[in-house]
Amino acid sequence: MLLSLLAMSIHLKTNLNNMRIKKISFIDEVRDESNDSIDVGVEFEDGYSYTIVVRTPEDLVEEMLQEKTNFLQPGTPMIVVKKLTKEIVTEAIKAYAEGEGYWLKLNLATKSMLH
């Protein structure tokens, strides 16, 4: 486990250090801009690509109601946005990629550890 985390860390450092986004695309169709969850594909200029879950607060509340819980269960890392529009999702993903992309790297590392 420690070796795979170390290898993942080296991979992330070498491949995502610059975090220049080439393309952002919605993989799923948005049914409701204010209450939905979608997968979004992010392609970087170095050829690396990544899929991240983007959700709205209303979708999170709906999940808690369905599961009859007062909190979100641990699970897949995600980005939460007010509405699922191209503009807002792009703005959020670019914010996660700022600097050396710490937050995108953290999402990727966490997602890799879960699977």
- Interval 10-34: pLDDT, tens: 444 444 455 788 999 999 999 999 9
Please state the pTM of the whole predicted model: 0.76
For the chain, give the mean pLDDT: 82
Return the pLDDT at 7.
45
Q: Specify the number of domains making up the chain.
A: 1
- Is pLDDT of 74 > 70? yes
- Is pLDDT of 9 > 70? no
Q: Which residues are within 8 A (CB) of 37 and not within 5 positions of it... i.e. 6 or more apart?
A: 53, 54, 55, 56, 59, 78
Return the pLDDT at 96.
86
For 104, the domain range is 2-114
